[in-house]
Structure 1
């Protein structure tokens, strides 16, 4: 089937002033019942000395007799906030109501805060190891399952993140492909992984994992015109390696900078594609 895409003029000045218009699935609709959201305070055993907020959003169509898919969002409130740029709960309500994705419980996890007050976000999100995925699989998901019926099928377990949360989502799935197989990563900060971006080499030298990956990059992402620590270049290298390794992936390249506007606009289509 051929899709006709309307013409949109490209801005000639190429600055960071580009913003994308939201589609119908990113706003509350009067015919769509609202899901319910539960807020938790969580102290982690995987990351001792940290606390965080977790929100569990359950669409109205959830039936405890039918185990639901689960989708974990990093930077929890930023992605859940109904007045923010991404509006994850609204998107889930709309897509589930229309049958575009299976009934999916959204789990919105804030990064940890140390008892001394410092944020633990970069330590958790940028590390290339199994620890954060283990935290989700061993602490957060069991708490969700204690309250709600969640599918055992890893093809119905997804993970979402942007910036450092984007490479965090990829890393959690990479180390735990038996759990997280649907990945959405937006403007990922591969450029600031300690020791450098490992994925281009890993993807070329490691047998493919059973992952489906939706990726977004921005023409004006951080250091887009610099020879090193270039967010745009590292996202393109990641996507090229996925293509060469034969992964089921999709790359969307936008004209914006390092902000979540395009992320929010793309989220409904990304979830439809991931759970197709």
Structure 2
């Protein structure tokens, strides 16, 4: 399913007391085709829940699962894809059943044989007194959030290389100890939704020599962790300008969002942030795609087009290569930047 670009962006004025505003929530598109289990398609195997303790995050523990496709051959190194908030992707009959998509597209040779790592946000509660615990605890009290949710935000919303280092130096090596993985960024992808979307982009931006392919659904390119850590000056809302001003990264990016995503008086506008991201990537010649529909802050539209996203992300993949210089599609280069109009109220 291809989500049509909606140029009429719904905006709203927030009352001072409002915590969040979202537009109407249309029903999620149905999952069809390669999102569903198909007869005769070999099913990959999913590991039991595993756990890792992070030194980079001062004793944080994280749960993760490993998907191994039926076509995996230990003699041949496999591509790698990381799924943030990974537990949400595992139900084959759920709202975003990634395992079905992996099975079907690998069987059709639309994507390479890959090991998928589904990782959940960490838990710092078992490491009291550490610098990470103290930071997360203070953040949770400041904003009346749970310790668990605050740890997720610290990992996912912070614009630094810390989470990318956790993936590169701790999580992926723990999987590589069991399976034969490719080491080149050409063969490494990462995805997630909401804060998991920005952390996917952030990991590739911080380490394009580790991750070169990104899918972000309803990405939180907003000010959630802005100025929370004095050592980290940037927030997610700064990424459009970072794309425009900083050196080009060799990455390929699919962004998805919807006109009824959130407007938050503390953090900003999700729809506008994603449009700004899409325009920055386009203007700087990135190999990128923007899918903008009518959905709210939910995985529905991203999940419905996930087979298309994965096919686009991995198009042209050649296992004999270890690198590719990504280039903007000429058809995309010929199109103008995205423009918006106000659809839900008068503005004069």
The TM-score, its normalising length taken from structure 1, stands at: 0.91
User: Do structure 1's residue 243 and structure 2's residue 282 form an aligned pair?
Assistant: yes
User: Do structure 1's residue 123 and structure 2's residue 154 form an aligned pair?
Assistant: yes
2:133 paired residue number: none
Q: Deviations over 1:231-270 (max 9, x none)?
A: 1000100110000110000000011100111121121111
Structure-2 change in CA distance of 1:169 and 1:30 (3 Å): same
User: Do structure 1's residue 61 and structure 2's residue 71 form an aligned pair?
Assistant: yes
1:272 paired residue number: 311
2:44 paired residue number: 35
Displacement after TM superposition at 1:23 (Å)? 2.2
Following superposition of structure 1 onto structure 2, how do residues 1-276 of structure 1 map, counting pairs within 5 Å?
A: 15-38=24-47, 39-115=49-125, 118-119=147-148, 120-195=151-226, 196=235, 197-223=237-263, 229-276=268-315
Contact 1:36 1:57 (C-alpha < 8 Å) held by counterparts: yes
Q: Matches of 1:82 and 1:75 in 2, distance apart?
A: 16
**Larger CA deviation: 114-123 vs 168-177:** 114-123
Q: Secondary structure at the match of 2:66?
A: strand
Structure-2 change in CA distance of 1:114 and 1:104 (3 Å): same
Q: Matches of 1:249 and 1:230 in 2, distance apart?
A: 21
Q: Matches of 1:48 and 1:101 in 2, distance apart?
A: 36
Q: Deviations over 1:168-205 (max 9, x none)?
A: 00111111100000000110011134334121111111
**Larger CA deviation: 171-180 vs 75-84:** 75-84
Contact 1:128 1:193 (C-alpha < 8 Å) held by counterparts: no
User: How many pairs were matched up?
Assistant: 266
Displacement after TM superposition at 1:152 (Å)? 2.3
Contact 1:18 1:255 (C-alpha < 8 Å) held by counterparts: no
Displacement after TM superposition at 1:6 (Å)? 11
Displacement after TM superposition at 1:26 (Å)? 1.0
Q: Matches of 1:143 and 1:137 in 2, distance apart?
A: 10
Q: Matches of 1:159 and 1:6 in 2, distance apart?
A: 21
Q: Matches of 2:266 and 2:210 in 1, distance apart?
A: 36
Gaps of 5+ in 1: 8-12
Displacement after TM superposition at 1:141 (Å)? 0.8
Higher relative contact order, chain-length normalized (CA < 8 Å, sep 6+): 2
Structure-2 change in CA distance of 1:250 and 1:6 (3 Å): closer
Q: Secondary structure at the match of 1:16?
A: coil
**Larger CA deviation: 35-44 vs 67-76:** 35-44
**Larger CA deviation: 257-266 vs 17-26:** 17-26
Contact 1:80 1:89 (C-alpha < 8 Å) held by counterparts: yes
Structure of higher CA gyration radius: 2
Note the aligned Cα RMSD (angstroms). 2.1
Contact 2:53 2:60 (C-alpha < 8 Å) held by counterparts: yes
Displacement after TM superposition at 1:81 (Å)? 2.3
Displacement after TM superposition at 1:228 (Å)? 6.9
The TM-score, its normalising length taken from structure 2, stands at: 0.73
Q: Matches of 1:92 and 1:205 in 2, distance apart?
A: 36
Q: Matches of 1:22 and 1:231 in 2, distance apart?
A: 24
